[in-house]
């Protein structure tokens, strides 16, 4: 039955909507006026550090490996200026969540990381009061850096490992050493972070079911609280794209096996990619951020910011020379008082965003809340929701529409099928550099 709804399971990862490939140059808009009418008491603060010690073959994130010596310091100075502009122009009243990602934020040395936290505090954000996450790679973790993160109140640390087999990691274009992986995990486990997350990838060239299960077993053995499993997507301009990858697609089978293994090891599936230990982390927070309704303030080149009706960022690229030039442009900006690249969301796009974020990443789509916000009936307006239910991919409990376990397996087909025609067209026409 499901085959009648979707041609492929792996259409795309709908982690945000609209996708950044739909962003274009905007008529410059004043930052202060853009945020004037927005709710500002439970914002998400995201800071992007576009630097890594290596460029992995599968990665299309906005980052460069081994930037020139003074670029990171110049970048931090610019973050400082941008934060000051945000404070003055937007006037955040409170933060409900924060994350530092990239790139590899632990690529920064200790004084640079200290500077980063002083910028965060300057914005009025105290990581110790809210869910606060920090990304890292095994080779860049040190005791001193973890100590700083812990004392600053970071409660979730996320480490990209991808595979516990060196050969497999190398096939992913990631020159990772197992010695560093195990040393990093030992070190991480010696700090009482509430959540340690490990990222793994399946579908790599040469990966077998038993090598994939081996990596999962290693994560389970380390008893980390959270695991993200990512299907490999071969993306334009990345190293993997140039490797003439031609392995039979076994991703779905690998995924199903992983799901079964993680659930039997005591993990709960939260989304297609995210599994969490059943015991919840202690809740020490007073505010909560809702990704469907609250705004996001992005700091840094490549970071996205969201108001209800405008999503914006710097430009986006994958090739090294273009990323470098976007970072240089960011550093050279005389001020941060206006926004000139992104997408305007009309009512229909806001509705679609609410549905996609709720059904794929949240606790389900609250049809009553949707009706309160938009004055419309999602169930009637989006026949796909009824089709998903008829096909056994979603189920309705009162006003809440949730994906079934099989529906979650089809997330990468369901998400893109909810994109509007105009966003799909913008994505298709995007000239990736
Ligand atoms: S996967 Fe992570 S470490 Fe590798 S290039 Fe991308 S951001 Fe950097």
For the chain, give every domain's residue range. Answer: 19-277, 347-429
Tell me which residue of 344, 303, 312 sits closest to 31, measured CA to CA: 312
Whether 156 is in the pocket of ligand 1, judged by its Cβ within 6 Å, is no
At 3 the pLDDT is 52
At 425 the pLDDT is 93
Residues of the chain with pLDDT under 70: 1-4, 241-248, 280-292, 362
- Beta strands per DSSP E along 265-411: 267-269, 274-277, 296-299, 305-306, 310-312, 338-344, 365-366, 394-397, 400-403
Whether 173 is in the pocket of ligand 1, judged by its Cβ within 6 Å, is no
57 CA → ligand 1 middle, Å: 9
| Residue of 57, 103, 162 to mutate, ligand 1, most atoms within 8 A of C-beta | 103
At 181 the pLDDT is 96
Output the six-digit token pair for 114. 């200290």
Ligand 1 atom closest to the CA of 102, numbered from 1: 7
| Residue of 56, 139, 175 to mutate, ligand 1, most atoms within 8 A of C-beta | 56
In angstroms, how far is CA 29 from the centroid of its own chain?
26
Ligand 1 atom closest to the CA of 61, numbered from 1: 6
Whether 102 is in the pocket of ligand 1, judged by its Cβ within 6 Å, is yes
Contact 401, 364 (CB under 8 A): yes
- Give the other-Cβ count within 10 Å of 227's Cβ: 24
- Cβ-proximal residues to 259 (8 Å cutoff; 6+ apart), any chain: 269, 275, 409
Q: What is the rounded CA–CA span in Å between residue 28 and residue 25?
A: 9
At 380 the pLDDT is 93
Output the six-digit token pair for 75. 């970048």
Q: Which residues of 256-270 are buried (b: 16+ CB within 10 A; e: fewer)?
A: ebbbebbeebebeee
- Cβ-proximal residues to 193 (8 Å cutoff; 6+ apart), any chain: 149, 150, 154, 155, 156, 157
Three-class DSSP category at 70: coil
At 282 the pLDDT is 61
Per-residue 3-state assignment (H helix, E strand, C coil) for 109-126: CHHHHHHHHHHHHHCCCC
Apex 254 CA angle, 251 and 259, nearest 5: 120
Burial of 172 (0-12, 13-18, 19+ CB in 10 A): buried
Q: Is the pTM of this model over 0.85?
A: yes
Q: What are 67-116's pLDDT values in tens digits?
A: 988 999 999 999 999 999 999 999 999 999 999 999 999 999 999 999 99
Output the six-digit token pair for 423. 């966003």
Whether 61 is in the pocket of ligand 1, judged by its Cβ within 6 Å, is yes
Q: What are 361-399's pLDDT values in tens digits?
A: 768 999 999 999 999 999 999 999 999 999 999 999 999
Whether 160 is in the pocket of ligand 1, judged by its Cβ within 6 Å, is yes
Pairing of the two strands 226-231 and 274-277: antiparallel
160 CA → ligand 1 middle, Å: 8
Max Cα-Cα span within the chain: 58
Q: What is the rounded CA–CA span in Å between residue 156 and residue 191?
A: 11
Whether 63 is in the pocket of ligand 1, judged by its Cβ within 6 Å, is yes
367 CA → ligand 1 middle, Å: 37
Residue 40's φ and ψ, nearest 5 degrees, are: -125, 20
Whether 101 is in the pocket of ligand 1, judged by its Cβ within 6 Å, is no
Whether 104 is in the pocket of ligand 1, judged by its Cβ within 6 Å, is yes
Residue 237 preceded by cis peptide, ω within 30? no
At 243 the pLDDT is 42
Tell me which residue of 316, 317, 312 sits closest to 340, measured CA to CA: 312
Burial of 321 (0-12, 13-18, 19+ CB in 10 A): exposed
163 CA → ligand 1 middle, Å: 13
81 CA → ligand 1 middle, Å: 26
Three-class DSSP category at 92: coil
Three-class DSSP category at 299: strand
At 246 the pLDDT is 47
Three-class DSSP category at 157: strand
Q: What is the rounded CA–CA span in Å between residue 176 and residue 168?
A: 10
DSSP 8-state symbol, 176 = -
Contact 325, 53 (CB under 8 A): no
Nearest CA to ligand 1 atom 7: 103
Q: What is the rounded CA–CA span in Å between residue 70 and residue 74?
A: 6
CATH class of 347-429: mainly alpha
| Residue of 59, 161, 163 to mutate, ligand 1, most atoms within 8 A of C-beta | 59
Ligand 1 atom closest to the CA of 55, numbered from 1: 5
CATH class of 19-277: alpha beta
At 245 the pLDDT is 44
Whether 83 is in the pocket of ligand 1, judged by its Cβ within 6 Å, is no
50 CA → ligand 1 middle, Å: 9
At 250 the pLDDT is 87
Nearest CA to ligand 1 atom 2: 103
283 CA → ligand 1 middle, Å: 30
């Amino acid at each position: 039955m499901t085959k009648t709804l979707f041609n492929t399971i792996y259409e795309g990862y709908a982690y945000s909507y609209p996708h950044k490939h739909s962003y274009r140059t905007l008529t410059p808009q004043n930052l202060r006026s853009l945020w004037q009418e927005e709710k500002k008491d439970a914002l998400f603060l995201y800071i992007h550090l576009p630097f890594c010690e290596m460029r992995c073959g599968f990665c299309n994130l906005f980052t460069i490996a081994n930037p020139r010596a003074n670029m990171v310091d110049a970048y931090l100075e610019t973050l400082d200026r941008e934060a000051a502009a945000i404070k003055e122009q937007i006037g955040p009243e409170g933060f409900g969540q924060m994350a530092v990602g990239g790139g590899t934020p632990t690529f920064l040395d200790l004084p640079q990381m200290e500077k980063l936290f002083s910028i965060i505090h300057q914005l009025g954000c105290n990581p110790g009061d809210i869910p606060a996450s920090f990304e890292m790679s095994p080779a860049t973790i040190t005791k001193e850096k973890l100590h700083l993160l812990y004392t600053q109140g970071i409660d979730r640390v996320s480490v990209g490992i991808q595979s516990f087999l060196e050969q497999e990691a190398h096939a992913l274009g990631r020159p990772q050493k197992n010695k560093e992986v195990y040393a990093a995990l030992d070190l991480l486990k010696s700090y009482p972070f509430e959540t340690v997350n490990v990222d793994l990838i399946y579908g790599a060239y040469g990966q077998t079911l038993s090598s994939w299960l081996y990596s999962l077993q290693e994560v389970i053995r380390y008893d980390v609280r959270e695991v993200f499993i990512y299907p490999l997507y071969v993306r334009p301009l990345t190293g993997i794209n140039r490797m003439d990858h031609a392995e039979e697609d076994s991703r779905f089978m690998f995924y199903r096996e992983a799901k079964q293994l993680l659930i039997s090891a005591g993990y709960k599936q939260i989304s297609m990619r995210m599994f969490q230990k059943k015991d919840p982390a202690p809740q020490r927070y007073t505010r909560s951020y809702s990704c469907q309704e609250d705004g996001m303030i992005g700091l840094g080149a490549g970071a996205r910011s969201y108001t209800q009706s405008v999503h914006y960022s710097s430009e986006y690229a994958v090739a090294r020379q273009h990323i470098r030039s976007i970072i240089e442009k960011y550093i050279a900006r005389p001020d941060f008082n206006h926004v000139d690249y992104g997408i305007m969301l009309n009512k229909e796009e806001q509705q679609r965003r609410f549905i996609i974020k709720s059904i794929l990443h949240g606790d389900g789509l609250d049809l009553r809340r949707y009706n309160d916000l938009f004055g419309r009936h999602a169930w009637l307006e989006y026949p796909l929701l009824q089709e998903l239910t008829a096909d056994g991919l979603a189920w309705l409990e009162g006003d809440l529409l949730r994906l079934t376990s099989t529906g979650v397996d089809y997330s990468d087909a369901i998400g893109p099928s909810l994109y509007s025609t105009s966003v799909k067209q913008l994505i298709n026409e995007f000239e990736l550099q």
